[in-house]
């Protein structure tokens, strides 16, 4: 039986809503997105408010899970795929790399967390240094998180731990870099 909570709202499907959210997170103006999709902003805003309440209501997590999947596949949306934010060549190359190279993706996750831990806006830091917007980064994160869940379902915990360890090691590397730039950590003078 199809979950009634997945029914489109005023013609805005969950796939549309997730793709709009992803494009907005990439920095594309909502007006431009609505125009490309062929809906009025008023329709989008009301649909958006109700999609949030559908997720709150859904005990099966199906709406939230599918939202995550569609968010990660925003570039495959039939109408919005062509809507891209201007990106540097380096940014494009880095974005392609985090999509295909999980080690690099885990490294940037570690770097982003390290940046937050040293008082930077981690998402902005990734954009400034690797040219990848928050929306694009989150889209790729959804893809890897789906893959990781599938690995766990198959019992491949070693693989999950392997990448987690890689991310932690990279986070430490970046933290050491930030600490050096900021003149060290508070407890650097405390030695065993």
Residues of the shown chain interacting with another protein in the complex, contacts defined by CB under 8 A: 40-42, 45-46, 48-50, 52-53, 56-59, 116-121, 175, 179, 185-187, 190-192
CB atoms within 10 A of CB 180: 10
CB 71 within 8 A of CB 39: no
**Residue 106 near residue 166, CB atoms below 8 Å:** yes
Q: Are 1 and 31 in contact (CB under 8 A)?
A: no
Query: Residue 182: helix, strand or coil by DSSP?
Result: coil
Contacts of 128 (CB under 8 A, 6+ apart): none
Question: d(Cα 150, Cα 47) in Å, to the nearest integer?
Answer: 31
Q: How far is the CB of 84 from another protein (least distance, A)?
A: 25
Nearer to another protein, 33 or 95 (CB): 33
User: What is the closest distance, in whole angstroms, from the C-beta atom of residue 102 to another protein in the complex?
Assistant: 25
For another protein, the closer of residues 40 and 101 by Cβ is: 40
Tokens representing 124 are 């902005």
- State which residue, 160 or 179, has the beta carbon closest to another protein: 179
Q: For residues 72 and 110, which CB has a smaller minimum distance to another protein in the complex?
A: 110
- If the CB atoms of residues 151 and 168 are measured against another protein, the closer one turns out to be 168
């Amino acid at each position: 039986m199809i979950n009634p909570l997945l029914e489109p709202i005023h013609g805005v499907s969950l796939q549309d809503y997730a793709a709009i959210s992803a494009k907005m997170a990439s920095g594309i103006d909502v007006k431009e997105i609505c125009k490309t999709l062929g809906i009025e902003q008023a329709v989008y805003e009301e649909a958006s408010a109700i999609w949030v309440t559908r997720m709150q209501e859904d005990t099966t997590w199906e709406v939230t899970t599918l939202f995550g999947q569609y968010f990660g596949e925003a570039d495959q949306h039939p109408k919005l795929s062509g809507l891209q934010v201007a990106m540097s060549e380096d940014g494009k190359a880095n974005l392609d790399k985090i999509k295909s190279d999980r080690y690099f993706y885990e490294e940037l996750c570690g770097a982003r967390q390290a940046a937050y831990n040293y008082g930077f806006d981690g998402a902005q830091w990734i954009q400034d240094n690797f040219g990848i917007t928050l929306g694009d980064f989150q889209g790729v994160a959804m893809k890897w998180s789906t893959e990781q869940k599938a690995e766990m379902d198959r019992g491949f915990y070693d693989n999950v731990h392997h990448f987690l360890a890689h991310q932690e090691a990279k986070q430490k590397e970046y933290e050491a870099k930030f600490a050096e730039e900021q003149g060290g950590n508070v407890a650097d003078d405390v030695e065993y």
